[in-house]
Amino acid sequence: MLSVLLAAGCFLTGCPKNDAATEVPVVTVMTHDSFDIGKEVLDMFEKEHGVRLRFLKSGDAGAALNQAILSSEHPLADIFYGVDNTFMSRALAADIFVPYSSPLLSSIDESLVLDKNHRLVPVDYGDVCVNYDRAWFELKGIPVPESLGDLIRPEYSGLLVVENPATSSPGLAFLLATVGTFGEDGFVEFWQALKNNHVLVTDGWEDAYWGKFSAASKGGRPLVVSYAASPAAEVYFAEKPPETAPTAAMTGSGAAFRQIEFAGILKGARQPELARRVIDFLLDTPFQQEIPLKMFMFPANRNARLPEVFTEHARLAHGPVVLSPEIIAEKRDAWIRAWTETVLQ
Amino acid sequence: MDTGVDRDRASVRTSGNHAAILLVALPLAFLGVFYFYPLFEIFSVSLAPAGQLDPGNITALFSTGSSLRILWFTTWQAALSTVLTVTLALPAAYVFARYRFPGKSLIQSCTAIPFVLPSVVVAAAFSALLGDRGLVNEWLMGIWGFSAPPIRLDQSIAFILTAHVFYNFTVVLRIVGGFWSRLHPGLSHAAQVLGASPWQAFWKVTFPILRPGIMAASLLVFIFCFSSFGVILILGGPRYATVEVAIYRQAMHLFNLPMAAALSLLQICFMFAFMWVYTRLQRSASVPFTPESLKTTQRDIVSNTDRVMVWGTVFFMLVFLGSPLLALVVRSLSTGSGMSLLYYRSLFENAGQSVFYIQPALAIGYSVGFALVTLAMSLCIGLPVAIFLSRDRGRATSLLDPLFMLPLATSSVTLGFGYIIALDEPPLNLRASLIIVPLAHTLVAYPFVVRSILPGLRSIPAHIRESALLLGAAPGKVWWKVVAPMVRRSLAVGAVFAFTVSIGEFGATIFLARPETPTVPLAIYRFLGQPGAMNYGQAMAMSTILMLVTAAGFLFLEKLRTGPEGEF
Amino acid sequence: MAFLQVSCISKAFGGVPVLRGVSLALEEARILCILGPSGSGKTTLLRIIAGLERPDQGAVLFKGRDLRNTRPHLRRFGMMFQEYALFPHLDVSGNIAFGLHMLGISRSEVVRRTGEMLSLVGLEDLSRRNVSELSGGERQRVALARSLAPYPRLLLLDEPLGSLDRGLREKLLLDLREILRRIGMTTIVVTHDQTEAFAIADTIAVMDRGEIAQMDTPENLYRHPADPDVARFLGLANLVQGRVETGSSIATPLGLLHVPAHGHERGEAVTVLIRPDAAVICRGDEQVPQGMSMVEGNVHDCLFKGRSYHVEVRIPGPQALFFDLPQNSPAPRVGDRVKLLLSPGAITVMPG
């Protein structure tokens, strides 16, 4: 037992004291698990501004935002990155962000700027839609579905797996796509038909994609709700990059929901001035060009160049569904309840 | 019964009460600061935001009946999982308690591996094996020519139960097995010679004496299944929700913090009531007996019956516990171009030059480091609590016993949020500190230490302690010289659990760990967060490494247990 | 047809033989004692009779019926275990009543019989006592009462006094004998203590290394041990090597001993046992009576033991003999040279 205690002691005392060791000002960015950034770009920024960036990953997007709201009296960070348009109203209502109109907003796609007060600025976006297993459809000789309406046809019976909108952010985005496409009155009917067509529901993206999708693992279903950029990730993370992606996204009109991710400066930030520089950095091309291959989202900055694997294999949806954050905030509970009653019970 | 002996005993009891208060002071202070205070803060913020309790949230809980439905489902699936686990693990506990055979301690250690695996990984393993397109179904379809998979477990309650048994088998095996190995085999023989069939001998003699051990193990399994989260989410699918899952959904996805807090409160109150009843039953069930040395209770494999029993059990365990794990290992090695170590090699490359790249060695270092600190803290907290609870102290015991178990039954989401708002000011500004991870792990781990030691401590007859006292040993010395050696094995079991719980803990870690201090489960989730064959393969490789690290940790702890003085 | 017949039982554990072809028979209402050093296989034999172990070979017959396929709980034998194996979760009465409940008899009958057993062993006052609060002697009595309660057809006792201290042992030994004789219980007792065996048994079977070396009444066993090992185990230490000289005399390092050597050839090597209680000190120049033998030696040590003197006599050479001399004769002093007269009845000739 003694040796265990000794080992434990060494472990705790021997750990590097990151903050105390340096005199450099630290800016803390609170974000979700999926956030990623390359060393080179980060080093460049830190050197240029004489600052160190610390990242606080706090669970998935919902968990992270919750913590940011709960800790508003004694904020854990200076910047929050990762509020999406489905959570946006809630975040703004909690009044935890201060506005900052970054000069770089001029290069940002106008349609993405949803908060006119610039408390939250768009950093990246992606389209949630159905992905399909190319090989499976070729082998069976069945044409791939092209619109949401196709999914309820008998030849696609028992092929689709979706995520629960109550527990998964792509799941919610897909529900919103159906609301946008079929209207507030029609989407329940569509889901009823999907249910009759043996749709499978999982609670999270991981389980749907890794557990049930035939292209990714031993799953039995060739249709899954994921991102329009997922096929690019399949190529990028393949053992040997293939000519064509094993999967493809269904990006027809009305088949996708556009998810936009925002960042903002938290109220009570200890380094407000430096925090603004960080926002500029997040919107500027060096970081923006990192986004595709690190997070498999599209950069919000029009001037950012896309990597080849993205231009080849990732597609943006044509005419994605757009719903205002206010409507989403107002109706999401009711829509999720209606969905749950239709599909799960 | 008013004999001199009883009077002496009573006086020993009262004089011991002051020392007893000292004994639980540290654990109580720990609970107060790191459990009740954060919990109180989160409840007051959620349920009484304006400083006044809003009863609407509580009444909303019961207005639709859905909360009660969830509570009912949570309870019965946990109860059924517990009964199944105990039933399936008892024969194995018997075999491990009564026989010596080669590879025993290795097998016993490895049964705890499921305990550390993240539920996503376990789900992947089970799907690979028993899913609609899993190995077993493909094999059955190939041999018998079924046109559809004959085993349909996906998103069924059967899958949840199977996974719960898979996870918790080791709890029953170790706690009941350890207790059983202290029981003289002559008791069962005596019963048989007195006319009891082997079955009657088990029910009328062995079972009543084992009951404290079985109850302790059952309680842990029940609480674990009651607050089950990942298994329900992934294997059960969205149709099934435990209270824990409901709390998570309300808090994280519906942003309904008051509802989540109300559900948490419901969960805590229910568990407190449940454990209060349990404590009362447990106290009346305790049977004093002198623990025997393993030399007398264990025997070698001699007859054919022995052989069938032992190797049959080992075979069952290998198939049931081993094959999903093996499926994982196979997955981590099978790349697109045949079997290779590609995924393992790629773990050591930071291909995208990411800031958040996790070096496997570093993740293992942090995992093991956190686990060892958790182990040390859990023993410091759990041991005094167990000693305190081992003596019947009337109302204090019946109140404190369930209280000390509560952290295990509290939603990690709720507690995690509590930490964020409560531990935010000096001297308790621990939100960004390294110690917060093992602190959170300790809250979940020390109940295992308590439950592992308690049955053994309670069964030590008072006369053994008293005779040592009469021989002139001070109470503390009695503990170290007489009592500690008798419970050393169960202490080691508790230590193994503390280590395991910490290595596998994910729910709180994801809130509290920082990217600079990643653990292995966090690394696995990182890989599973993005599409692509490499990510999946690396997640499987990392899971395999986690299994190996865990097994190595167990073997090390086993060594400590047998120690230089030999096994008691 | 014997009440209990054990024939040719062999048993090995992990290739090591523990019992080799053991046979014995026991009549109803008799007490058989299996006496042997630890590791001689006596407990294993008892467990085989109880049905707790299966023999590799051989059979146990009860009233002529082979018990091979009768499980222990159906044999209706009582057994008392070495450590008593009292059930810690039951009180004294609960322990005693256990076997009665298994018989399925009525509650009132259980109560009556339990009371009867409690008074048989003299523990009426302790019926509600927890077994962990009992003394060693009390535990032994509870264990005895428990094994007797369900009317066993045969009682098996494994070292019934083994874990008790000496003083308690003698008292309980007499109690045990009294109880067993009073109820006429057919009993097999396993023990390593010859005093215990002599006190309690009608017949003693001496076991050695998995075999029965000799089985006889206590008296015959004491007088005529079958071989030197049995003699040594019975505590008879005066063993000397010799050679048959004539039909009635044997040459030994002590001199010529006069004893009938029936069944031994002239010139055969034998071992001679001289019992310690069979010598008389010979005064002065007394004539050695016809047929008696005389040995001479120096008193090396003398211990007064109340009824007798325990005397160690050194004969020239390494040989030492021990005698218990009656205390009415004058005490020999250390260093004295003494002559000892031995009657033929005090000498046993054994092969080897």
With a threshold of 0.85, tell me whether the complex ipTM lies above it: no
pLDDT for the residue C332: 79
* Chain B: partners with 3+ C-beta pairs within 8 Å: A, C
Query: Which of B194, B286, B287 is best to mutate for the C interface (most C CBs within 10 A)?
Result: B194
Which residues constitute the domain of residue A32? 21-124+260-313
Q: Are A249 and A268 part of one and the same domain? A: no
Return the residue of B nearest to C82 by Cα. B186
8 A C-beta contact, residue B50 and residue B132: no
Q: Give contacts of B516 with chain A, Cβ < 8 Å.
A: 18
Q: Are A302 and A171 part of one and the same domain? A: no
Is the pLDDT reported for residue C152 higher than 90? Answer: yes
Q: Are A120 and A182 part of one and the same domain? A: no
Return the residue of B nearest to C15 by Cα. B302
More confident residue, B235 or A134: A134
Q: Are A297 and A237 part of one and the same domain? A: no
A201–B534 C-beta distance less than 8 A: no
Q: Are A141 and A196 part of one and the same domain? A: yes
Q: Are A120 and A265 part of one and the same domain? A: yes
Is residue A116 less than 8 Å (CB to CB) from chain B?
no
The proportion of chain C whose per-residue pLDDT surpasses 90, expressed as a percent, equals 35
Is the pLDDT reported for residue A1 higher than 70? Answer: no
Taking chain B, what is the end-to-end CA distance rounded to the nearest angstrom? 34
With CA atoms as reference, report the closest residue to C56 among C25, C15, C3.
Answer: C15
Mean pLDDT estimate for chain A:
88
Is residue B100 less than 8 Å (CB to CB) from chain C?
no
Q: How much is the pTM?
A: 0.79
Which residues constitute the domain of residue C267? 237-351
8 A C-beta contact, residue B130 and residue A211: no
B531–A40 C-beta distance less than 8 A: no
| Among candidates B189, B200, B287 on the partner chain, residue whose Cβ is nearest the Cβ of C89 | B287
Q: How far is B293 from chain A (nearest CA, A)?
A: 22
Is the pLDDT reported for residue C77 higher than 80? Answer: yes
| Among candidates A3, A164, A234 on the partner chain, residue whose Cβ is nearest the Cβ of B531 | A234
Number of domains in chain A: 2
Question: What residues contact B344, with CB distance under 8 A and at least 6 apart?
Answer: B332, B541, B545
Question: What residues contact B4, with CB distance under 8 A and at least 6 apart?
Answer: none
B195–C73 C-beta distance less than 8 A: yes
| Among candidates A8, A167, A233 on the partner chain, residue whose Cβ is nearest the Cβ of B372 | A8
Q: Are C247 and C226 part of one and the same domain? A: no
Q: Are C294 and C322 part of one and the same domain? A: yes
How many helices, marked H, and strands, marked E, lie in chain C? 9, 20
Q: Are A148 and A277 part of one and the same domain? A: no
Q: Which two tokens stand for residue C234?
A: 């019975």
* Chain C: partners with 3+ C-beta pairs within 8 Å: B
Q: Are A32 and A46 part of one and the same domain? A: yes
pLDDT for the residue C56: 92
Query: Which of A239, A296, A297, A342 is best to mutate for the B interface (most B CBs within 10 A)?
Result: A239
More confident residue, B518 or B285: B518
pLDDT for the residue C76: 92
Q: What is the mean pLDDT of residues C251-260?
A: 85
Q: pLDDT tens digits for B388-434?
A: 888 766 777 778 888 898 888 888 878 888 887 887 776 777 777 78
Q: Are A223 and A340 part of one and the same domain? A: yes
Return the residue of B nearest to A9 by Cα. B373
Is the pLDDT reported for residue B10 higher than 70? Answer: no
Return the residue of A nearest to B561 by Cα. A1
The proportion of chain A whose per-residue pLDDT surpasses 90, expressed as a percent, equals 58
B198–C85 C-beta distance less than 8 A: no
Q: Which two tokens stand for residue A161?
A: 């797996």
A11–B255 C-beta distance less than 8 A: no
| Among candidates B155, B252, B335 on the partner chain, residue whose Cβ is nearest the Cβ of A62 | B252
Q: Is residue A4 part of a domain?
A: no
* Confidence band of C317 (pLDDT split at 50, 70, 90): low
CA distance B475 to B180: 28
Q: Are A184 and A331 part of one and the same domain? A: yes
pLDDT for the residue C282: 77
pLDDT for the residue B375: 92
Q: Give contacts of A314 with chain B, Cβ < 8 Å.
A: none
Q: Are A175 and A131 part of one and the same domain? A: yes
Q: Are C153 and C179 part of one and the same domain? A: yes
**How many CB atoms sit inside 10 A of residue A143's CB?**
9
Q: Domain B21-328+340-562 adopts which CATH fold? A: MetI-like fold (1.10.3720)
More confident residue, C317 or A118: A118
Q: Are A69 and A159 part of one and the same domain? A: no
Is the pLDDT reported for residue B17 higher than 70? Answer: no
Q: Is residue A330 part of a domain?
A: yes
List, as one string, the DSSP characters of B516-555.
TS--HHHHHHHHHTS-SHHHHHHHHHHHHHHHHHHHHHHH
Q: Give contacts of B354 with chain A, Cβ < 8 Å.
A: 36-39, 294
- Residue window 455-514, chain B: list those with CB within 8 Å of chain C: 461-463
Q: Give contacts of B252 with chain A, Cβ < 8 Å.
A: 59-60, 62-63, 66, 167
Q: Are C97 and C224 part of one and the same domain? A: yes
Q: Which two tokens stand for residue C86?
A: 């009292």
Q: Give contacts of B534 with chain A, Cβ < 8 Å.
A: 237-239
* Chain A: partners with 3+ C-beta pairs within 8 Å: B
Q: Which of C232, C256, C288 is the last residue of a domain?
A: C232
Is the pLDDT reported for residue B473 higher than 70? Answer: no
- Residue window 82-121, chain B: list those with CB within 8 Å of chain A: 120
Is the pLDDT reported for residue B525 higher than 50? Answer: yes
- Residue window 281-340, chain A: list those with CB within 8 Å of chain B: 293-294, 296, 333, 336
Q: Is residue A305 part of a domain?
A: yes
Beta bridge partners of B505: none
Q: Are C219 and C320 part of one and the same domain? A: no
Whether there are 3 or more C-beta pairs closer than 8 Å between C and A is no
Q: Which of C214, C232, C250 is the last residue of a domain?
A: C232
Q: Is residue A102 part of a domain?
A: yes
Q: Are C106 and C172 part of one and the same domain? A: yes
Burial C305-332 (b: 16+ CB within 10 A, else e): eeebbebbbebeeebebbbbbeeeeeeb
Is the pLDDT reported for residue C339 higher than 60? Answer: yes
Question: What residues contact B554, with CB distance under 8 A and at least 6 apart?
Answer: B109, B110, B112, B496, B499, B500
Q: How far is B86 from chain C (nearest CA, A)?
A: 21
pLDDT for the residue B564: 37
C130–B288 C-beta distance less than 8 A: yes
- In degrees rounded to 5, what are phi and psi of residue B441? -65, -40
Return the residue of B nearest to A170 by Cα. B253
The proportion of chain B whose per-residue pLDDT surpasses 90, expressed as a percent, equals 17
Q: Is residue A8 part of a domain?
A: no
Q: How far is C345 from chain B (nearest CA, A)?
A: 45
Q: pLDDT tens digits for B92-142?
A: 999 999 998 888 888 887 888 887 777 767 777 777 677 766 777 778 877
Question: What residues contact C226, with CB distance under 8 A and at least 6 apart?
Answer: C213, C214, C350
pLDDT for the residue B568: 30
With CA atoms as reference, report the closest residue to C201 among C219, C213, C226, C183.
Answer: C219
Q: Which two tokens stand for residue B151?
A: 């085993």
Q: Give contacts of B200 with chain C, Cβ < 8 Å.
A: 73, 102
Q: What is the mean pLDDT of residues B356-364?
A: 84
8 A C-beta contact, residue C51 and residue C72: yes
CATH classification at residue C150: 3.40.50.300
Taking chain A, what is the end-to-end CA distance rounded to the nearest angstrom? 53
Q: How far is B208 from chain C (nearest CA, A)?
A: 7
**DSSP H helical ranges for chain A:** 2-13, 18-21, 39-49, 61-70, 88-93, 134-140, 169-196, 205-206, 230-236, 272-283, 285-288, 291-295, 308-313, 325-339
Q: Which of C213, C232, C251 is the last residue of a domain?
A: C232
8 A C-beta contact, residue C93 and residue C127: yes
Q: How far is C149 from chain B (nearest CA, A)?
A: 9
Number of domains in chain C: 2
8 A C-beta contact, residue B166 and residue B172: no
pLDDT for the residue C284: 67
Q: How far is B69 from chain A (nearest CA, A)?
A: 13
CATH classification at residue A94: 3.40.190.10
pLDDT for the residue B546: 86
- Residue window 249-278, chain B: list those with CB within 8 Å of chain A: 249, 251-255, 257
pLDDT for the residue C172: 82
| Among candidates B200, B300, B303 on the partner chain, residue whose Cβ is nearest the Cβ of C102 | B200
Q: Are C126 and C9 part of one and the same domain? A: yes
**How many CB atoms sit inside 10 A of residue C352's CB?**
10
Return the residue of C nearest to B194 by Cα. C99
Q: Give contacts of A71 with chain B, Cβ < 8 Å.
A: 420-421, 424, 431
Q: pLDDT tens digits for B52-62?
A: 777 777 777 77
8 A C-beta contact, residue A224 and residue B136: no
